[in-house]
Chain A
Amino acid sequence: MGREYANLIVKEYGATLEIMLNRPETVNALTNDMLTELFAALGDAERRPQIRAVILSGSGRGFCSGQNLKEVAGRGDTVDIGEHVARYYNPLITRLYQLNKPTVCRIQGACAGAGMSLALACDLRVGSVEAKFSQAFVKIGLVPDSGSTYFLPRLVGMAKAMEMALLGDVVDAPEALRLGLLTRMTDAGTLEAETQKVAEHLASMPPVAVAMIKRALHRGIDASLPDQLLFEQHLQRAAAATEDHHIGIAAFLNKQPPQFTGR
């Protein structure tokens, strides 16, 4: 702990770490400094074994309005946007997607552009009825980046992904729930508590198996069945060797809730 951030608020409740984007005056538009801090905060979360779930959130009325256009847009001559994406977004999205802990994104309002990419790179999304998703890139003559073209067709299917990316229309919370983009939709007043509940549930699960399940599902979407069956076979052998597997079995037989150790 102990790291101070200018653009984030990092809070801890029990085994859950919340990383909150904190530039509410711009609906948390992503600046270079903020992206750098987010990358560092995720690295800290990854390294600390007592953290078993991560909430990614934004302060104020929305989760994130996307890239801060003042830092890149309209400056094609002076800023190489490809270089910007490679430097700030690609490593961040990779770290978030591959994080060895489960991640939940909390969405109370706008979730647009690269902000939506961040939400899609999380494992689960919980939103209030006021959550609004937008693949806004097309409206400014750009293409979805920061992983949106990878995550979106995988999460909602090609047809809906095309619709969202080509039209750039806002998808509201009930529609997002139907599409599976949202795990849960809540009232505005209960969003924080509900998101925390989901995070606590994740934090109570055996962390080694949770990290393995993420890896297996990420591979499975691209692998052939024979490759993935082999991968599962060996992953299961490693999972069965964990202390938590034996704790889980004992708890099941004794009809007790398991207390997982992370070993």
Chain B
Amino acid sequence: MNILERREGAVTILQLNRPEVLNALNAALMEELTDRLAVLAVDEQVRVVILTGGAKAFAAGADIAELHGQTAASVVSAPVINRFDALRQFPKPLIAAVSGWALGGGLELVMACDMVIAGDNAHFGQPEIKIGVIPGGGGTQRLTQLVGKMRAMEMILTGEPVDADQAYRMGLVNHVVPAEDVVGAAETLAEKIAKMPPIAVQLAKEAVLAAPDLPLEAGMRFERRLFALLFGTDDQKEGMQAFLDKRAPHFEGH
């Protein structure tokens, strides 16, 4: 069991569970994670997923013991790296709850999520350069998108991590909370989102994720189509009626 799963109402919490190696990401763990997400993607009871690790480490990086003997040819098709692509396809909001280290593949996993809650003990870094390689799970692309070229360049070329407060100022995390209640804080955020109409939530996520890839004109057009599409849902009618009636809406997910 490399992944533990817990359900709280409409929120599912997935916990990386290789504490003896600070949750180093090996092929087996990444496969279990993507398998779990594939199931949760189609489970209508699940509205939001939280991804977390242990108290000391969210994930300290790829499993170096596993990567050590590899050749260029074997790494090109290595599942541990290609699994990061699968994460991007997950349609529901994914919140990372980070206590301790999120390094290398651990940070790449964090950046593949939609929002990040950081414990005040959290550290984020891409230290691959220190062992003769570079990030391979999207680090150079995602970090640059998130924090800008200059800061990404320094982190990736020196391999030095940043702490929770620095990460917050860079826009790498949404909130810094006490490490002891980092999952609790993520659940509070998840429950807020879980109360929102789920079709609108999914389309909003899709539109936001499309933003860096689309030219502005195309992005605006895409957004307008999705906006119009939501007028075919019951939840839009309920939401607007409740607003006019000055009462709380009750969304059914239709």
Contact = CB atoms under 8 A, between A and B. Distances in A.
Interface of A: 212, 215, 219, 222, 227, 230-231, 234-235, 237-238, 241
A238 B180 contact: yes
A219 B118 CA distance: 14
B183 to A, nearest CB: 10
Contacts of B175: 227, 230
B92 to A, nearest CB: 24
Given A212-B178, A237-B184, 18 more contacts: A215-B120, A215-B178, A219-B120, A219-B176, A222-B165, A227-B175, A230-B177, A230-B185, A231-B120, A231-B177, A231-B178, A234-B177, A234-B178, A234-B181, A235-B180, A238-B180, A238-B184, A241-B180
A235 B182 CA distance: 10
A231 B182 CA distance: 10
Contacts of B184: 234, 237-238
A202 B181 CA distance: 25
Nearest to A215: B120
Interface of B: 120, 165, 175-178, 180-182, 184-185
Contacts of A222: 165
A237 B182 CA distance: 11
A144 B165 CA distance: 24
A222 B120 CA distance: 14
Nearest to A242: B180
Nearest to B182: A234
A219 B184 CA distance: 19
Interface centre among A234, A237, A238 (most CB of B within 10 A): A234
Given A227-B175, A227-B176, A231-B176, A238 B120 contact: no
B176 A235 contact: no
Given A215-B120, A219-B120, A230-B185, A238 B176 contact: no
A219 B177 CA distance: 10
17 contacts: A215-B120, A215-B178, A219-B120, A219-B176, A227-B175, A230-B175, A231-B177, A231-B178, A234-B177, A234-B178, A234-B182, A235-B180, A235-B181, A237-B184, A238-B178, A238-B181, A238-B184
A230 B189 CA distance: 11
A227 to B, nearest CB: 7
Contacts of A231: 120, 176-178
A229 to B, nearest CB: 11
A149 to B, nearest CB: 18
A212 B120 CA distance: 11
Contacts of A238: 178, 180-181, 184
A206 to B, nearest CB: 14
Nearest to B117: A234
The 7 closest A-B pairs by CB, nearest first: A238-B180, A234-B181, A235-B178, A234-B177, A238-B181, A234-B185, A237-B181
A35 B111 CA distance: 39
Contacts of B165: 222
Nearest to A218: B120
Contacts of A235: 177-178, 180-181
A234 B178 CA distance: 6
Contacts of B176: 219, 227, 231
A237 B120 CA distance: 15
A259 B210 CA distance: 57
Nearest to A212: B178
Contacts of B177: 230-231, 234-235
Contacts of B182: 234
B119 to A, nearest CB: 9
A59 B178 CA distance: 38
B190 to A, nearest CB: 14
A230 B117 CA distance: 11
A230 B178 CA distance: 9
A222 B180 CA distance: 21
A230 B165 CA distance: 14
Nearest to A232: B178
A196 B165 CA distance: 35
A228 to B, nearest CB: 10
Contacts of A237: 181, 184
A212 B121 CA distance: 12
A143 B149 CA distance: 33
A85 to B, nearest CB: 18
Nearest to B164: A219
Nearest to B121: A215
A2 to B, nearest CB: 27
Contacts of B180: 234-235, 238, 241
